[in-house]
Structure 1
Amino acid sequence: MDLDYRRLYDMVRARFESDAALEAFLPQALTPEALRDKGDDRYLSAMTQRVFQAGMQHAVVDAKWPEFELAFQGFDPEAMARLGPGQIEDHMQNGRIIRDRAKLRTIPENARFILEIRQERGAGFGAFLADWPDTDTIGLWRLLAKRGARLGGRSGAGFLRLAGKDTFLLTSDVVARLKAAGVIDREPSSQRDLQAVQDAFNALRQESDRPLCQLSALMALSINPAF
């Protein structure tokens, strides 16, 4: 099938008992106003959580997250930007968190990233995300990979999903649907392939008026009913 929205929706809808059941299953993105209202500490927390999720079972990281919040003072960016090597070593002795030195070192780096964006934009990180056009999601991924710490690859999109910013995810199921539709013929890594993916999502969004996160979920469900 090509990426016709109605055909995609009907394929997935047939696997649910009702329209309401399908809608309840689909993810929701935050509104621009809600993104603006969130404190920068919540964005640093989400960045760090995503960094720790990489290569680990997400449920393990999520279960530990209340201890991370306690250990890192609620992830206030100004305080975390001053986190030095000695303090990182102190946290390496804390058995209540996940002790990964390389990942812990991203906390002050990403705190400084958030503060730099705040200074450049004259507003919080949430306003920066709210203002970024969803039609250029891959551009936001590039910025996160370039300026953030360990936010490249799928981690940038994973952070955005945790933070509530609308984004699609390039899971294996989504990639399989894009291949089947002829949008790409390989795992998208080049800018040309990523732009083709972005264009396909933009067209579906215009056709359906659905957020990217829901379109991404519909693609995944069209391949894997257990998504």
Structure 2
Amino acid sequence: MTNHLSYPWLYDTVRARFDSDEAMEAFLPQALAPDALKRKGDDRYLSAMTQRVFQAGMQHSVVDAKWPAFEEAFAGFDPEAMAMIGAADIEHHLRNTGIIRHAAKLQTIPGNARFILDIRREHGGSFGAWIADWPVTDIIGLWRRLAQDGARLGGRSGAGFLRLAGKDTFLLTSHVVERLVLAGAITRTPSSRRDLQAVQDAFNALQQSSGRPLCQLSSMLALSIHPAF
């Protein structure tokens, strides 16, 4: 790894953006501990999946403002109930002016509910436990599984869902990618499995040297390119 991706260099660069250590630490995101992820009901994971699906291509604040209406319309996103949603139910929801009426995105709700139920059957526990137990040293493997078996959870949406749900993950924003390219970890925006593994390797090395979660390292890489204020 080049010195531009060493943790001491990264820390010093980002720390210079803030007035104090406390200010920097307060700004950096937090991930939930595995036990907290396991305690969350699977309805919360389906809600987060759906929220992320609707955020794609839209202002997040618009989706977030309407989310209480979504929770009411879909009765708290219980996976077993949501797996039974059919075409007539979707038509009914398309007449609800309180939510965002996007048929293709609404149709992901039963698909992702079935994905959650399949994981339960496959692993003999909750979806939250499956998420919690997935090693962060292979977070790209979890992204891949979400893309393969979830509905509209490919691209950035898989990582975005995990961030909403509280699972530790990095985000491949334009600034994160720019820093990784400048550091020589990758040569372009990652798209292939090989490129993504190079990104994972870079984050694993940073995590080993720093002890910080991926979400904080991701934020620090972005801040090393562009301050947030």
TM-score range, shorter chain: over 0.9
- Residue 109 of structure 2 corresponds to which residue in structure 1? 107
- Residue 122 of structure 2 corresponds to which residue in structure 1? 120
In 2, Cα distance between the equivalents of 1:54 and 1:88?
20
Residue 70 of structure 1 and its aligned partner are, at CA, apart by: 0.1
Residue 158 of structure 1 and its aligned partner are, at CA, apart by: 0.1
In 2, Cα distance between the equivalents of 1:89 and 1:6?
55
- Residue 14 of structure 1 corresponds to which residue in structure 2? 16
Mapped pair 1:220 → 2:218:
no
Deviations 1:177-211 (A, max 9, x none): 00010111111001111000000000000000000
In 1, Cα distance between the equivalents of 2:10 and 2:54?
34
- Residue 92 of structure 2 corresponds to which residue in structure 1? 90
- Residue 32 of structure 1 corresponds to which residue in structure 2? 34
Taking structure 2 as the reference length, the TM-score comes to 0.98
Runs of 4+ in 1 over 3 A off after TM superposition: none
**What are the ranges of 5 or more consecutive residues in structure 1 without an aligned counterpart?**
none
> Which of 170, 173, 193 is the equivalent residue of 1:171?
173
In 1, Cα distance between the equivalents of 2:120 and 2:225?
40
Residue 214 of structure 1 and its aligned partner are, at CA, apart by: 0.2
- Aligned AA (2:183): A
Match of 1:185, SS state, is: coil
In 1, Cα distance between the equivalents of 2:136 and 2:204?
8
Match of 2:5, SS state, is: coil
In 2, Cα distance between the equivalents of 1:226 and 1:30?
23
**What are the ranges of 5 or more consecutive residues in structure 2 without an aligned counterpart?**
none
Residue 2 of structure 1 and its aligned partner are, at CA, apart by: 2.3
Taking structure 1 as the reference length, the TM-score comes to 0.99
- Aligned AA (2:119): I
In 1, Cα distance between the equivalents of 2:226 and 2:113?
37
Q: What is the aligned residue count? A: 227
- Residue 132 of structure 1 corresponds to which residue in structure 2? 134
Mapped pair 1:155 → 2:165:
no
